[in-house]
Amino acid sequence: MFKSRLNQLIESKNSLLCVGLDADPDKIPSVFHQHDSPVVAFNAAIIEATSELAIAYKPNIAFYESRGIRGFKDLEETLLLIPKTCLTIADGKRGDIGNTSQMYAKAFYEHWNFDASTVAPYMGHDSLLPFFEYQEKLTFVLCLTSNNGSADFEEQRLANGKKLYEAVLEKVLAWNKAGNIGIVVGATKPEQLAEIRQKAPEIVILIPGIGAQGGSLEETIRYGTDKNQESAIVVSGRKIIYPDGKFTSIDEFQRAVNERAKATVLEMRQYLKTNL
Ligand SMILES: O=c1ccn([C@@H]2O[C@H](COP(=O)(O)O)[C@@H](O)[C@H]2O)c(=O)[nH]1
């Protein structure tokens, strides 16, 4: 089961870090452009520099499908480089009518063999069921996202007085009989993260929004983890994979990435310890 594997990794690595593999060819340091597949070389360097610190990698599918077949090949090669001691999360935010969702779920969980993926709840239970049927995988339903636009729908009140994200949480808790559903909550919404954790003490939460988006790591850990300081995955993408500076070698780039990942994990450990 995903959750027990996750919590074992959190304990053994003393880390909640998930590195976002959002490889943008325009941002990749020039030292990688001499390779046949600059994105694969870039991802390989990041994975090698962070795999002892990270519990998971989350490629956002947009960064790969935006480049067509070449992007998909890069994703396939990247997945082969991720060690078994790390989980893989496909951030695709899928969801459609049942038979179409079945194909999305098959793509992520069978073809690509990801451990987890993200889905949007807008179309309701039947649109998500094909994902939930993969019991050994974990499907993260968007609950309260990290962007300002969450106010447009997710934070709006329904006729029964509840906010939409609260209604999503209630549904997820009712659906989660097999324990293979998680939620996505942005680190930029710490008060709501605390509320959500209180209502869902055991659920796995995927939390993007620290680093480049400015969410507080301390509040994320304090409010987002469960009673054992587990069941939470904290995502950092750009802050770790695009360190400042001009790099004349891949080694130099890897040292900078490792420093950023290490600084994030050391900060996490500080909060994990003080919360005990
Ligand atoms: O609410 C959400 C849901 C998903 N994301 C995704 O997470 C990463 C964050 O990357 P950073 O570079 O650390 O900001 C990215 O893939 C987003 O699409 C999110 O940010 N917020």
Rounded distance between C-alpha atoms, residue 14 and residue 78, angstroms: 25
Could you count the other beta carbons within 10 Å of the beta carbon of residue 107?
16
Rounded distance between C-alpha atoms, residue 171 and residue 245, angstroms: 46
CATH no. of 2-271: 3.20.20.70
Query: What string of DSSP letters covers 233-271?
Result: EEEE-HHHHS-SS--SSHHHHHHHHHHHHHHHHHHHHHH
> What spacing in Å lies between the alpha carbon of 209 and ligand 1's midpoint?
6
Catalytic residue among 93, 137, 189, 239: 93
Query: Is the full-model pTM beyond 0.80?
Result: yes
Q: Closest ligand 1 atom to the C-alpha of 236?
A: 13
CA distances, 86 to each of 9, 156, 235 (Å): 8, 36, 13
Average pLDDT, the chain: 97
Residues in the chain: 276
Cβ of 184 below 6 Å from ligand 1:
yes
The reported pLDDT for the residue numbered 122 is 98
Tokens of 191: 């008060």
pLDDT per position as a tens digit, 5-48: 999 999 999 999 999 999 999 999 999 999 999 999 999 999 99
Three-state DSSP state, 93? strand
Residue 84 annotated to the active site: no
Confidence class for position 273, pLDDT limits 50, 70, 90 = confident
Rounded distance between C-alpha atoms, residue 139 and residue 150, angstroms: 20
Rounded distance between C-alpha atoms, residue 72 and residue 93, angstroms: 17
Cβ of 92 below 6 Å from ligand 1:
no
Cβ of 59 below 6 Å from ligand 1:
no
CB 196 within 8 A of CB 144: yes
Q: What is the dihedral of CA 235, 85, 143, 234, to 10 degrees?
A: -30
The residues near 124 (Cβ < 8 Å, ≥ 6 apart) are none
The reported pLDDT for the residue numbered 267 is 97
User: Taking residues 189-216, what's their average pLDDT?
Assistant: 98
Cβ of 236 below 6 Å from ligand 1:
yes
ipTM score assigned to the predicted complex: 0.99
> What spacing in Å lies between the alpha carbon of 48 and ligand 1's midpoint?
22
